[in-house]
Structure 1
Amino acid sequence: MENLITWGFYFMTFYAFIPGLLSRVFGYRVFKKGDVTRELALTFDDGPDPIYTEQLLDLLKKYDAKATFFVVGVHAKQYPELLRRMKQEGHTIGVHNYEHKTNWLMRPKTVKKHIQLTNDIIEEVTGERSIYYRPPWGIMNLFDYRNVSKLHIVLWSSLFGDWSAKLTAEKLTKRMLKKVAPGEVLLLHDCGRTLGADVDAPRNMLIALEAYLKAATDKGLKMVTIPELIALSEGKQQQQQQQQQRSIGKRVLIKLWLGWETIFHKMMKLKPVHIHVEDDPMLHYRLIKYKGNELELHKDEKLNEGDLIAELHFDNKRLSEIAFTSKNPLVVAVKTIREVEKALPKLAVMLAAEKQAKDIKAIHGITMINRGADKLGFSIHELPDGFFKRSTEIYLHILMKVLTPPQKKELISKHKAAQKQTAEEPRILLMSTNYLYKHFQQHL
């Protein structure tokens, strides 16, 4: 009898307790928290629920928040229309077993079957199989790592006991508001129809969640799906690794360059265009009189010498971050234009608030990164031949060489091929303020 108990103890230790310790405490082969600056993930287990999941989706839509739903197969089979809506509204759907049973009490073959059955339902409804899995109660067994070798195991950084109706909305709100921070993976429940939960507990969760969403939005935080949070975390880690790869000489050079840029911004009295207060701006501007040849704007408008313009400048710190985490200049161009697109609504508001707002004819910038700028409404013009064009070209080539990472030998040919797809010479980007206000001011 003693031998039987001893062997049972050893079995449970290796089959259940050690895997649980590795995953829950040490994070072995699981994702628990993001390494990001302004994003967090909301995750919901046990649904979908015919009453509360629909209310939850309405609330997420109100705050433009994306989430990840780990669904129980039997519930998903009952309410496929809710899975369909999750997919349509940009949320991610993950697997939470076919029934809400712990993996400790199931054979490896049974766990595998639970995952497959649930994924079959997800695929039938959405057209895609999920690659994200959360075991009930976050409990793993020894064979789960093999069963889910092709899946991302997702746990959490914060849970609150919201499955119990005894936890009031007020108490739950207080607990949740302590976790309004980047990188958090919050575990909540949109269904109380599982063992140990209360059917109406999600009612309190929804009240607390609205307070949380408001607080997170006010802080400038963005609620994203698990795949987005994983991608952003990996991108930041890659950036940190690449930063470490920079030579000491290059790091010193970049530091000096960015230090000079700070002085230049103060001398020129450039104004930063902050999308969020806590983020570095992508653009800066100053109001000056245009000097140069007549240029075409939109709808027969023309820019003439002496007209007031907002002269745009990239923030080279942000440009450095983009360049050093991009594989080639083409990717740099795409990412940069996307950042500019995000900044234009804020720029429109700032220009409209200037004392000389009615006199500002256009926004104007000179850059080598102009691929795709026409899609935003910029007209692209060549610089007139002369000393200014040659000196600008040299400056911008040196700048990109300093900011971008060294290319490995095997990537040089690809690097050169990508360069051919991007502009090799600086160009003038021009947009009338009338066009800017009409197409971007209302998007803030």
Structure 2
Amino acid sequence: MEILLLWIFYILTFYAFLPGLISRLFGFRVFRRGIAEREIALTFDDGPDPIYTAKLLDLLKTYKAKATFFVVGVHAEQNPELIKRMHEEGHLIGIHNYVHKSNWLMRPKTVKRHIHKTSGMIEEITGKPAIYYRPPWGIVNLFDFGNLGHIQIILWSAMFGDWRKRLGAERLYKRMKKTLKGGEVLLLHDCGLTFGADRDAPEQMLSALERYLKDAEEKELRCVRIDELIRTTEKHKALHPSLFKRLTVKLWLGYEKLFHVVFGLKTASETKPVLHFRARPYHGETMMLDDGVTLQHDDQVLELHFDNQHLYDIGHSSKSSVHLAIKLIRDVEKALPEIAAYVAERPELQQIKALYGVSFIHRGPEQFGFTVRDLPKGLFSWMTKRYLKLLLRVIHPMGQNRLRQQSDQLVPKTITMSMEYLMKRYGPGYHFSAHEMEASIHGAEQPFKNASL
């Protein structure tokens, strides 16, 4: 009996207690507070409620405030018109599980099913899936950190106990007033039907919230959706990276220099390198390129690598995703003729059959003449995808946001160009046309969409 109790204690500690403690104390894999001068995020849990959610939407509309609603699936199912109204009035809809039950009491598979069911319901009503999630009572289990895919967990910076009617509107308002500052994420409740809540408590919340919104208006503070506060926070972090971020980048770029030395990578431009390369045998499956050249196992290729220091620099100096794409295209435009000249001048490289690389940026290279193919599934593909995602987090100012919003689209692919095509197109007298520039920008900017700099 004693051993059984000990095992139960260990399971609860590592499955439930420690993950919750780490997420709250250190913000690991969760968003709970923003960095902003004048933006506050109002968030409401447990709804929608046919009485109080409608009143709340009227109040928010009066003060031109936007909010985030973390809805319970069964309540959303019963009140689809309120979900539709939230969406139409510009509010963000998140997930609060299908039923209001602690993640500590559910298996990871059950939690995932609840989330997907609620997200699917929201998408059916609004046309947009939900990607933000607040677990009931803010409780996470061990597997929530890696089991939810692109879903972002949202906690809060201020909670007031507004689910209890006895708190009263006056005391609630005084507690809320202390949070009248940018970056706060307020947790409130627009429904009193969950376990431990009072049915009419939202009436007190609405009274206190109206006074809070008046104060915010006087102080010129804006109430925004959680996704807007996240974007503002990430932009601030991009402009003012933390010491940890700076050290991470420094270590990563130092590792890259070591990699170049160990594997003997070269560049055609020593002063401002964009692409590095090394000659090696091709180890993939036989590939027919778009120009008719066949690349076979053990053919010699120049393996391409972007200069990550350069990518990091242009990422942090670009004003938008389009601006970044223009810089990237112009740099590649310059690099390809330089590589062609470099190869032409070196007899030892005359056996090179193609340029070859693996990248997330594969929607623009075809405009340069690269053949884009899926990376064969396997261990190498799995490892490459995770390496490139880690790289994007490091070198891109808002890489984390990009990964969260369009994770499914970030699939590494091979990009290949025959040496015959390189010499024919990028040899002496090559000129990059305006049409090529426009087409390449449209493709190359895709990996940076929704991650404005």
Q: TM-score, normalised by structure 1?
A: 0.56
SS at match of 1:216: helix
User: Are the structure 2 counterparts of residues 327 and 89 from structure 1 closer, same or farther at C-alpha, using a change threshold of 3 Å?
Assistant: closer
Q: Which residue is equivalent to 2:30?
A: 30
Q: Which residue is equivalent to 1:110?
A: 110
Could you tell me how far 1:327 is from its partner in structure 2? 4.1
Q: Does the CA contact (< 8 Å) of 1:48 and 1:79 recur in 2?
A: yes
Offset from partner CA, 1:152-171 (integer Å, 9 cap, x none): 10000000000000110000
SS at match of 1:44: strand
SS at match of 1:50: coil
Q: Which residue is equivalent to 2:15?
A: 15
Q: Does the CA contact (< 8 Å) of 1:38 and 1:220 recur in 2?
A: yes
Offset from partner CA, 1:331-367 (integer Å, 9 cap, x none): 9xxxxxxxxxxxxxxxxxxxxxxxxxxxxxxxxxxxx
Could you tell me how far 1:324 is from its partner in structure 2? 5.2
Could you tell me how far 1:149 is from its partner in structure 2? 2.6
Distance 1:187 1:148 in 2: 22
Q: Which residue is equivalent to 2:186?
A: 186
Q: Does the CA contact (< 8 Å) of 1:41 and 1:68 recur in 2?
A: yes
Residues 59-74 of structure 1 aligned to structure 2 (within 5 Å): 59-74=59-74
SS at match of 1:207: helix
Q: How many residues align?
A: 261
Q: Which amino acid aligns with 2:171?
A: K
SS at match of 1:166: helix
Q: Which amino acid aligns with 2:85?
A: R
Could you tell me how far 1:105 is from its partner in structure 2? 0.7
SS at match of 2:37: coil
User: Are the structure 2 counterparts of residues 328 and 161 from structure 1 closer, same or farther at C-alpha, using a change threshold of 3 Å?
Assistant: closer
Could you tell me how far 1:330 is from its partner in structure 2? 5.9
Could you tell me how far 1:102 is from its partner in structure 2? 0.3
Q: Which residue is equivalent to 2:210?
A: 210
Offset from partner CA, 1:296-342 (integer Å, 9 cap, x none): xxxxxxxxxxxxxxxxxxxxxxxxxxx956148969xxxxxxxxxxx
Distance 1:30 1:325 in 2: 27
Ranges in structure 2 where 5+ consecutive residues have no aligned partner: 247-315, 325-431, 442-453
Distance 2:91 2:158 in 1: 20
Distance 1:118 1:328 in 2: 32
Distance 2:145 2:241 in 1: 28
Distance 2:320 2:20 in 1: 38
Q: Which residue is equivalent to 1:248?
A: none
Correspondence 1:153 to 2:153:
yes
Q: Does the CA contact (< 8 Å) of 1:70 and 1:96 recur in 2?
A: yes
Could you tell me how far 1:77 is from its partner in structure 2? 0.1
Q: Which amino acid aligns with 1:51?
A: I
Distance 1:200 1:325 in 2: 51
Q: Which residue is equivalent to 1:326?
A: 319
User: Are the structure 2 counterparts of residues 325 and 42 from structure 1 closer, same or farther at C-alpha, using a change threshold of 3 Å?
Assistant: farther
User: Are the structure 2 counterparts of residues 242 and 167 from structure 1 closer, same or farther at C-alpha, using a change threshold of 3 Å?
Assistant: closer
Q: Which amino acid aligns with 1:165?
A: K
Correspondence 1:100 to 2:139:
no
SS at match of 1:231: helix
Could you tell me how far 1:241 is from its partner in structure 2? 3.5
Distance 2:161 2:321 in 1: 47
Could you tell me how far 1:113 is from its partner in structure 2? 1.3
Correspondence 1:227 to 2:220:
no
User: Are the structure 2 counterparts of residues 47 and 328 from structure 1 closer, same or farther at C-alpha, using a change threshold of 3 Å?
Assistant: closer
Q: Which residue is equivalent to 2:43?
A: 43
Could you tell me how far 1:115 is from its partner in structure 2? 0.7
C-alpha RMSD of the superposition: 2.6
Q: Does the CA contact (< 8 Å) of 1:238 and 1:325 recur in 2?
A: no
Could you tell me how far 1:45 is from its partner in structure 2? 0.1
Could you tell me how far 1:120 is from its partner in structure 2? 1.6
Offset from partner CA, 1:202-221 (integer Å, 9 cap, x none): 00000000111111111111
Q: Which residue is equivalent to 1:272?
A: none
Q: Which residue is equivalent to 1:175?
A: 175
